Structure 1
């Protein structure tokens, strides 16, 4: 539980029955995401005390009224929620739901009949991404839940709900690289490495990974990158110019949430190149843009959750993992619930790519 910004503790809480359209899930594991770190640091607003976490995996214990997609005993993964009825949701783009922000990041949009979580009799905030998975249970929206096969390894698959979904989907659905494209991924964390995996399946002309940690760059190479750049020891702009013969990068994906990196990617983009940015920096963070520099047709574009429908992409990702094409185990390290603080610290310092909290 997050008692206050920077104060992550293990605490006893009570879960009510799920309300209409909700399910009670007993968690097996939950991934730890950079968005969680942003909330812990106070850069993303979320009421405290409260439960965060949004890459859960577990077993349905109870279902609320009106739930038809799952039943008690089903294995599920948890992802983001959406309204299901706005123009974006009905056109298979639920990541751009009209009420995405209050339903997910802020975690405040829920009905009066929703299930509650309390500590010592007092309600606490939950419903982060429609679920809040850093607990032994979660009261989740039905639209946050994706049913998986009974034999699926929930601990391995837990990170699919956000980090892997975002990285893979952003590359697969939005940038959509072809065999002639030069692709660059800025940041070799879980999102960036998932994007590298997706891009490598498309076999672009070049696939360049950029990071500050040699070990992560070595992993990027193992996962399909054709070249790597360490921004600490190399001049990124010069290396990109060298690798591309001065033509620049056609498709760039900045996963860092750092406005300086996004500007660097724009400067290095080719004529009519696209720079896609994701992440959750503090509100008000701005990217400096030289208008003259983008008049060659360069595009700066944002993306949320890889522009995916979890109910569609997550089963595809599970199939890729089963076929050995999505080696999640290479990204993950497991921690117990009482090690969640250590997991956050390891992730922040680049020791671990994707921590998985095992309950």
Structure 2
């Protein structure tokens, strides 16, 4: 505040400094790319716990090596991850709600993401709406996800006073897109939008009467190289290149497509180049054929030079043996990238980036 002189003399005025505290930059945000039970495809989603992964991507899945790598990351000290879900031939569960009056088309809906998980969704429609709303076009929609083990509600969403009219303030397509984690209106819509609301169906008191899917979903098959770095993926920002949509990542993990196979070497090469372009580092899983230290030394020489000797990549051997929660906690062999990334993150948080994630502090 300017000083007001009241008599002759020397006055001192403090001017606010333009100096700002230097904020530390994240150094261990780890990106994972692979299959998951559910969740958005080719979109980097930031999570900060394995509970987040369970909620958005469905948790552990025996066919998803990525799900185990993410779990190992958080178990070993990781705290910040980006997940890119890829699929191969997966399909989405669909629903069709008959109109309350004719002639009109059915209201077509679908699960929010591909996969068989959508078969557990049930829909309830009722007409207990606001008195001022149009009873011909406005309705309430409830979406319930059942637990397949108990057939009881796992989570539910209720959308009141939604409308089939595209220009309505609560158009059902817009409301579901912005507010629902379970259901969507197909885009593009496969038919003509109905002119009247869907008929009442089901009851929240008896979910056996709720509307089920008309078309089942499919989890797809194991990923191949084309899903990671195929023709057009870079321009479309899909596969590993979906990470170009993220603000920052420091480490990249590409778990093998299946437990019995290794990551394609051409994919690894392109991923390392992508890391180089984004000043990140790739953690490369050693091939499963490297069973001994001697085999690793021999195998490293057969790796392409861009993989074996690169400032933006590191190959980790051997694979890790850990309990598998989906197999009665029997000890199984896993790719080490998630464990290693977790050790990186823990060391950065506890000791700082100047401390190598090695030695006695890098316990797993």
TM-score by length of 1: 0.25
Structure with higher RCO (Cα < 8 A, 6+ apart): 2
Q: Which has the higher strand share?
A: 1
Q: Which has the higher helix share?
A: 1
Query: Which structure has the bigger radius of gyration?
Result: 2
